[in-house]
Amino acid sequence: STGRRAVDFFEHGPPARSAVGIRASGSRSSRGLHCGTRSNSCGPGRSGLKHTRRRRRVMRAAMTARAALLALLCAAATDAISIASNPTAVYSTVTSKLRIQGDGFGDGDGTNLHLTFVPAIKATAYSVQVTGEKAISVLLKSGKQWPLPAGLSESTLYVTEVRSDMNADPTANLLDEPKAVATVVATPTVVKRDDRLLYMSASLKLLVNGSHFRPKKTQFTFDPPLFAGVDYEMTVKNAETAQLSLKTGRKWRSDGLPGPLKLKRIDTGAGPLRIDAKFGGVTVAEVQANLGGHGVTVETTSDKKYYQSASEIKIIGHGFNETAPANALRWGNKLQGRGTNYTVTKASTNALTLSLIAGSKWRPNAANLPGPLTLLAVNAGAGLVPVGATEAKKGRVVATIYADPSLRSDASRTIYRTLTHEIWLLGGGFVRGSTTVALVGEAPGGEPLKLRPYVDYLLSVFNATHARVALRDGRAWATTPGGTLKCVGLDTGAGPAPTVTEQMPRVLGKVAADATHESGAMLTPTASTQTLYETPALKRLKITGTSLCAKGFNGDASKVDVAFAPPLAAGVARVAKASSSEITLALEKDKKWPVGVLYVASITCGDAVKRTFADGSGVGVATVLWDPIVEAHPELRLYGAHSKRLVVRGSGFSPDGTSLTLEPTPQSQYEVVDASEWSVTLELKGDGAWVDPAKLEGNAKGVALKVTKLDTGAGEVRFKDVVVATVVAEPDGDICDDSCEWANDGVCDDGTGAPDQETYDQYRYGGFDDDWGGTYDDEPYYAGFYDDAYGELFDDYGALPACAEGTDCTDCQPLHGDASKTEVKTAECDNTCEFARDGFCDDSRTNGYCALGTDCQDCGPASAGNYSTYDDDEWWDDDEANWYWDDDYYDDDFDQRRFDDFYADDKKPKQDKTDDDGAVGYVRSTDPFATDDTDDSSGAALLVAALLLTAVALGACAACRIARGGRCKLRTKDGEKADLQTAWQEMTANPSAKKTNVPITPDHTFSGADGSHNA
């Protein structure tokens, strides 16, 4: 109160008083103080003039102070209120209170405050309540709503002015700048669909229709409970549609009992809203038990191998229809049944036999074989049932298909019985590591010689069309010359080829007698036993035989000339030592032996006689291998034990056998599992480790893993300080295992593997995939572009993983172990995505809502693969013809739903009072068949139609009463009756509805004046 009197003094000045020396009315004596009219203060009398002058000086100083203080008070009043810019989400029509935080709202109750909003809100639409010095609440009055411009689903609400009646200037704006105080979002609605049918687990997708769904913001609460990410994955496809995809092994009703699936709450960002609270939620589908045909399962039988044109294949499983034609299958390629490519010829509960139609193939493109034949779904009479992980479109491999093998004949080829070292086989479908041939050398008048693999010859497959058969040293193609060498059997991995048999052999050449020189000189074939690198460190080429030099040869190497077929370049090698039984050649400095078999065509030694061998075609004396080279990759990091595989890159490796020695890893800890000319893949054995864990404890830099020795067949090659990886300590806890059903299949199935862009590009641009499509005339399945690989490749790019994270360790190992698949690289990225930093990767790598590299925190650099979530939007967009209820359209002919308004008061379900906690409001479901309330013409037309229908009905009713008496009835064939008056009441009570709630069925009949009439 003292402060207020001071303010009053400075605002109004000293008390008013009469002129000096004049007695004011009602004043005291002139000698005393006379009283002013506005206060009890009194001025001096005439005798106090001296004091009056002094008082005037004091008063002038006070007036000056007053002016300064008023200026300060005005300035303070202008900045007295501040608002925190922290927009709160509110629903446009449901949220009744908006809380605004700030400072300086004062002691008033809120009626003194006047706010100006943009977009505008009329002052009569709300009231303000002060809830504290730092907060006020804006209360929306009944029937009013927060402003949301037409056509927008959300908008920002600003406060631009705050005025107070308690301020010195009630019109002054106390807010320094406009502040955003709310995000107004359109109130969502959900369409009731109690006519929609879902099977408990066989239906894979559910569309929830409504309005104003918001990507990344929308959350559903179901009854019985279903949880996003556990039971289903949800994608908001647009503002009217949310798509739920059931996860493998889950059910649409968690209790497993048939019944309605109700959506109890929806939250699009402004808090949870109860939907149809008095009915316990809105029914979005009726869940039924799976039919018997929904229990179909299929076993993975990838070990069953067939050729492309195999007449039959067999599928093992359970739940098949015993009527063979009743089983329909859907594949990962464009294979079609029903007599197009195959026919189901035999069927039992546990097996199907498929017979190929003439001219068809199980997989058509031989260039990509061997490869899996993947079965995606089976229809045993109850609709298509997926047989693999639906999230990743991971089907079951029911067979491995090999290209049809072929082999050409070459009867014109001459094969010397022991001197011809190798012959080349030309054909198709050869597979490295699994191809075998059966060779027979026929002898005229004698027993044919059956050549034995590894004993008489070695077979090497170079590609699908070329293979080499090399005769081992000291062996022969036939027992005697004059016959032919035949191939009477060919198996590339799927069993004996039906086109190469003893009855249908392939002639590989004529076996001729060894051609010897007239001098008696002979060479010993040593191409199988003598192997050299291009630049051997110690080895020299040795040529052995008999009578290689003239009699009495003194060993002068300068008089020896060795000719090769094809010829060596000049200056590559020199004769180091020579005798009649052995000639040694040394490689010149900085020169290389040509890779392949070295054939000696002729030798001149000690005289002028050229001793030719095999009529000049030469005898194989050595096999030269590429010099092995190992690439250094110290940047490649491996965990000590969790990284199961290591791919050593380089060149000159041998697919037929490469051994490799590491340091410090003992050879007992790993094994070579694959080798090509460019790589060697090592894999840890059992509980092996690359480095002793004790050496990694506290070692932040890790331990260098080096290749010290390598042997591709021509002896050990030693390396020094070639680091192929750096081994680091294990992270805390177990990071992965191989518990995934599809573990160790060569494809990362748990979603943790980074995409291999090179391989992805090869798939995308025609490198490997064989069928490119696979659409069915009757039912397009899985959208078309499906390849025979899985995971992140092509159409699988960005898919949901088939298994839980960390359960496919070997295939997805946490650090690649392969330098060609780079670890996370530093790349430009930012967080400009609307949904950045929300814990989920939202850029294009997961088919998210934002551009690549715009959700850096959640997705990592643009080159990374450590996505924080997976989006399944690719999988179910185009499956409308396959999966249940996969459309956004509604058929009026099947409207059998009931509207809440039509429940009698005593029939309405009791409202659930136990589930209100946390709800910020209540909304009602909508009718998919309702017209737009704003379209007056539609309502008028419907009303006119109703009136016309009523007129006709009443006329018929009148005729009926005249003829027979009684009331006019709507009668069904089974004798059930419905009162037409009920239908009229429903239509007139709900003019926005397209139809009444009278069920419309094909067998209704109408009894009227003119008899019965089919409706």
Three-state DSSP class for 672? strand
Query: For the residues 973-987, what does the mean pLDDT come to?
Result: 42
Q: How many CB atoms lie within 10 A of CB 447?
A: 9
Query: For the residues 318-335, what does the mean pLDDT come to?
Result: 89
Residue 825 confidence (pLDDT) = 44
Three-state DSSP class for 892? helix
d(CA 82, CA 995): 55
User: Is 268:214 a contact under the CB 8 Å cutoff?
Assistant: yes
User: Is 865:753 a contact under the CB 8 Å cutoff?
Assistant: yes
Residue 197 confidence (pLDDT) = 83
Residue bearing the bigger pLDDT, 387 or 659: 659
User: Is 140:126 a contact under the CB 8 Å cutoff?
Assistant: yes
The distance of Cα 721 from the centroid of its chain, to the nearest Å, equals 40
Closest CA to 361 of 406, 314, 403: 403
d(CA 439, CA 410): 14
pLDDT one-digit tens code per residue, 47-98: 455 555 666 665 666 666 555 544 444 444 445 788 988 888 999 999 999 9
Helix (H) or strand (E) holding 728: strand 716-728
Residue bearing the bigger pLDDT, 302 or 731: 302
d(CA 551, CA 112): 131
User: For residue 477, what are the contacts with CB-CB under 8 A and spacing of at least 6?
Assistant: 415, 416, 417, 418, 420, 441, 449, 451, 471, 485, 511
878-899 in b/e form (b: 16+ CB < 10 A) is: bbeebbbbbeeebeeeebebeb
Residue 839 confidence (pLDDT) = 66
Least confident of 310-319, 490-499, 832-841: 832-841
Residue 281 confidence (pLDDT) = 92
Is residue 881's pLDDT more than 80? no
Is residue 693's pLDDT more than 60? yes
The distance of Cα 162 from the centroid of its chain, to the nearest Å, equals 51
pLDDT one-digit tens code per residue, 808-821: 777 776 665 655 55
Half-sphere exposure of 183 (CA within 13 A, CB side): 12
Q: How many CB atoms lie within 10 A of CB 1008?
A: 19
User: Is 508:477 a contact under the CB 8 Å cutoff?
Assistant: no
Query: For the residues 889-914, what does the mean pLDDT come to?
Result: 36
Is residue 904's pLDDT more than 50? no
d(CA 882, CA 878): 9
Helix (H) or strand (E) holding 9: helix 2-12
> Confidence band (pLDDT; 50, 70, 90) for 830?
confident
Is residue 172's pLDDT more than 50? yes
Residue 835 confidence (pLDDT) = 73
Is residue 763's pLDDT more than 50? no
**Residue 986 burial by CB count (10 A; 0-12/13-18/19+): exposed, middle or buried?**
middle
Query: For the residues 996-1005, what does the mean pLDDT come to?
Result: 31
Q: What is the residue whose two structure tokens read 């081994």?
A: 727
d(CA 360, CA 307): 12
Helix (H) or strand (E) holding 404: none
**Which tokens is 249 given?**
């092994």
Helix (H) or strand (E) holding 449: strand 449-450
d(CA 147, CA 138): 14
Is residue 436's pLDDT more than 90? yes
Residue 928 confidence (pLDDT) = 63
Residue 53 confidence (pLDDT) = 64
Q: What are phi and psi of 956, to 5 degrees?
A: -65, -40
pLDDT one-digit tens code per residue, 930-960: 544 444 444 444 444 444 554 545 455 444 4
Task: Render 601-616 in DSSP notation, one character per residue.
Answer: EEEEESSS--EESGGG
Residue 100 confidence (pLDDT) = 92
Least confident of 333-337, 341-345, 441-445, 877-881: 877-881
Closest CA to 820 of 638, 650, 653: 650
Is residue 116's pLDDT more than 70? yes
Residue bearing the bigger pLDDT, 784 or 832: 832
Measured distance between the N- and C-terminal CA atoms of the chain, rounded to whole angstroms: 86
Is residue 25's pLDDT more than 70? no
d(CA 394, CA 388): 5
User: For residue 503, what are the contacts with CB-CB under 8 A and spacing of at least 6?
Assistant: none
Least confident of 317-331, 434-448, 702-716, 915-929: 915-929
User: For residue 142, what are the contacts with CB-CB under 8 A and spacing of at least 6?
Assistant: none
* Residue type present at position 752: T
d(CA 92, CA 155): 10
Highest average pLDDT, of 22-36, 489-503, 922-936, comes from: 489-503
d(CA 415, CA 506): 15
Alpha carbon distances (Å) from 358 to 151, 312, 407, 441, 508:
60, 11, 22, 35, 30
Three-state DSSP class for 217? coil
Q: At what angle do helices 2-12 and 49-78 cross, to 10 degrees?
A: 100
Query: For the residues 565-580, what does the mean pLDDT come to?
Result: 92
Query: For the residues 917-922, what does the mean pLDDT come to?
Result: 68
User: For residue 106, what are the contacts with CB-CB under 8 A and spacing of at least 6?
Assistant: 80, 81, 112, 130, 133, 164, 166
* Share of residues in the chain with pLDDT > 90 (%): 39
pLDDT one-digit tens code per residue, 543-553: 999 999 998 89
Is residue 1000's pLDDT more than 70? no
Q: How many CB atoms lie within 10 A of CB 92?
A: 19
Question: What single DSSP character describes residue 627?
Answer: P
* Share of residues in the chain with pLDDT > 70 (%): 68
Half-sphere exposure of 870 (CA within 13 A, CB side): 30
pTM above threshold 0.95:
no
Is residue 219's pLDDT more than 60? yes
Residue 41 confidence (pLDDT) = 42
**Residue 161 burial by CB count (10 A; 0-12/13-18/19+): exposed, middle or buried?**
middle
**Residue 105 burial by CB count (10 A; 0-12/13-18/19+): exposed, middle or buried?**
buried
Q: Where are the beta strands (DSSP E) in 289-431?
A: 297-298, 305-307, 312-318, 328-331, 342-348, 351-356, 371-379, 384-386, 396-402, 406-407, 414-416, 422-428
Residue 376 confidence (pLDDT) = 86
Query: For the residues 979-987, what does the mean pLDDT come to?
Result: 43
Half-sphere exposure of 477 (CA within 13 A, CB side): 26
d(CA 333, CA 170): 77
**Which tokens is 490 given?**
């060919």
Mean pLDDT of the chain: 75
Residue 627 confidence (pLDDT) = 93
pLDDT one-digit tens code per residue, 263-298: 999 999 999 999 988 888 999 999 988 776 677 889
d(CA 981, CA 99): 51
Alpha carbon distances (Å) from 66 to 16, 36, 76, 116, 635:
17, 20, 15, 33, 77
Highest average pLDDT, of 40-54, 303-317, 371-385, comes from: 303-317
Question: What single DSSP character describes residue 989?
Answer: H
**Residue 75 burial by CB count (10 A; 0-12/13-18/19+): exposed, middle or buried?**
exposed
Residue bearing the bigger pLDDT, 748 or 340: 340
Residue 278 confidence (pLDDT) = 85
Least confident of 223-227, 676-680, 888-892: 888-892
Sort strands 716-728 and 637-639 into parallel, antiparallel or unpaired: parallel
